[in-house]
Amino acid sequence: MKNHALRTIGVIALALALLLLVNHPAHAAFKGDRVAFPAGVNHAGWDVLLKRYVNEQGLVAYHKWKANAADLKALDTYLTQFAASGAPATGNDLSASAINAYNAFAIRWILENYPAESILALEKSFARKAHLIGGKKVALDDIEHGTLRPSIGYRAHAALVCCARSCPPLQRTAYTAAGVDGQITAAYTAWLAREDLNQFEPASNRVRISSIFKWFKGDFDKAGGVPKILARYAPAASREFLAKGGYKIEYSTYRWGLNDQSGRGKSYSRGNALFDSVF
């Protein structure tokens, strides 16, 4: 009886730990190496592809893209630019290249494995050092945690899109060195305006926001805290309420289903995410 009780406690403890993991299975360790991006990458080809295959909701037409050999080659040609070593990108040039590379390499990985229900259903999507940048193989985690978060902090979180339905919506314009600051502001504004991803409820003195604000709380705290960021970028109608503070913050369950225009990934559940994260 005692051994049975201990086993039961152990199973419950494991289940609770796994539930915590499934809330943020992709980047649980927040680790990455710094990536040296080549200076002066031309993002025009990526811009064309975004406008062709991403809709106003930030969903991707993966099926059409995979069926178009010329546009698959165009994506590969764009990504090949990052392989060069030499003079490193700095400042806004680095920010734009790192954001575009993360999003483009993530989408290429999905296209390579499509149809898939979720990026979590693919092996080591974020940790695999498979992307040639600056003469070295790097991982998506290296771009995010080793490069972008240390350089631009909380601003990275509205721009990076990991091909999941709860990600900030993928923008239909490539980031550029000249425009990246304004583009990140636009991405935050678009993200917080999405009522399926963030809700602001003055009547109940409550907000329900993306779990990204919880996972990366430290990044937001360095910029004054989550309430300050919400008040800065939320829809105009909600800013007065948010500026007053004192409201209850709740976090939405993250939906890891694929951000596919066809609806693939819509039924991908927390149970699916848990299974794929573990196995």
3 confidence band (pLDDT: 50, 70, 90): low
CB of 89 closer than 8 Å to CB of 134: no
Q: How far apart are CA 196 and CA 178, in angstroms?
A: 31
> pLDDT tens-digit profile of 39-80?
999 999 999 999 999 999 999 999 999 999 999 999 999 999
pLDDT at 24: 55
> pLDDT tens-digit profile of 118-149?
999 999 999 999 999 999 999 999 999 999 99
23 confidence band (pLDDT: 50, 70, 90): low
**pLDDT at 153 > cutoff 60:** yes
Tokens of 91: 């400042």
pLDDT at 13: 39
**pLDDT at 232 > cutoff 80:** yes
Mean pLDDT of the chain: 92
Q: How far apart are CA 166 and CA 157, in angstroms?
A: 12
pLDDT at 87: 96
**pLDDT at 27 > cutoff 60:** no
> pLDDT tens-digit profile of 190-204?
999 999 999 999 999
pLDDT at 276: 83
The DSSP secondary-structure symbol of 26 reads: S
* φ, ψ dihedrals at 176, nearest 5°: -130, 155
Verify cis geometry, omega within 30 degrees of 0, for the bond prior to 115.
yes
**pLDDT at 279 > cutoff 90:** no
Count of other CB atoms within 10 angstroms of residue 12: 10
CB of 59 closer than 8 Å to CB of 259: yes
Q: Could you write out the three-class secondary structure of 129-173?
A: CCEEECCEEECHHHHHHHHHHHHHHHHHHHCCCCCECCCCCCCCC
> pLDDT tens-digit profile of 157-208?
999 999 999 999 999 999 999 999 999 999 999 999 999 999 999 999 999 9
